[in-house]
Amino acid sequence: MVELKPGAKFQSAVCSTQVIVVKGAGPADLRCGGSPMVGAGSPAIDGVHSDDASGGTLLGKRYTDESGSIELLCTKAGSGSITVGDSTLDVAQAKTLPASD
């Protein structure tokens, strides 16, 4: 479990993924590649991500849960998928702007 708060930085323990919290607060079971994420700057743990969490992350993309209560910005891409518990975070879709005349 990690404590989410805007500006907090986390990294994967099994791949190169790094994220920064844009939105979210409180404790969360934040994982990448099936393993718990650790605070940025923590020593890397050599490990292998699970096959069901190997979708990868993309640099500069925002990842969010279904409810929109958690939003993470990927600052370094990696091979593991980001999850909260067993729920995979999806790439957030860009909001459409209103048409101007």
Domain boundaries, the chain: 2-91
pLDDT bin (cut points 50, 70, 90) of residue 99 is confident
The average confidence (pLDDT) of the chain is: 88
Q: Which of 34-48, 50-64, 68-82, 84-98 has the lowest mean pLDDT?
A: 34-48
- pLDDT for 75: 96
Three-state SS string across the chain, please? Answer: CEEECCCCEEECCCCCCEEEEEECCEEECEEECCEECEECCCCCCCCCCCHHHCCCECCCCEEECCCCCCEEEEEECECCCEEECCEECEECCCCCCCCCC
The answer to whether residues 37 and 54 touch, using CB atoms and an 8 Å cutoff, is: no
- In this predicted model, what pLDDT tens digit does every residue of 7-27 receive, in sequence order? 999 999 888 899 999 999 999
Is pLDDT of 82 > 90? Answer: yes
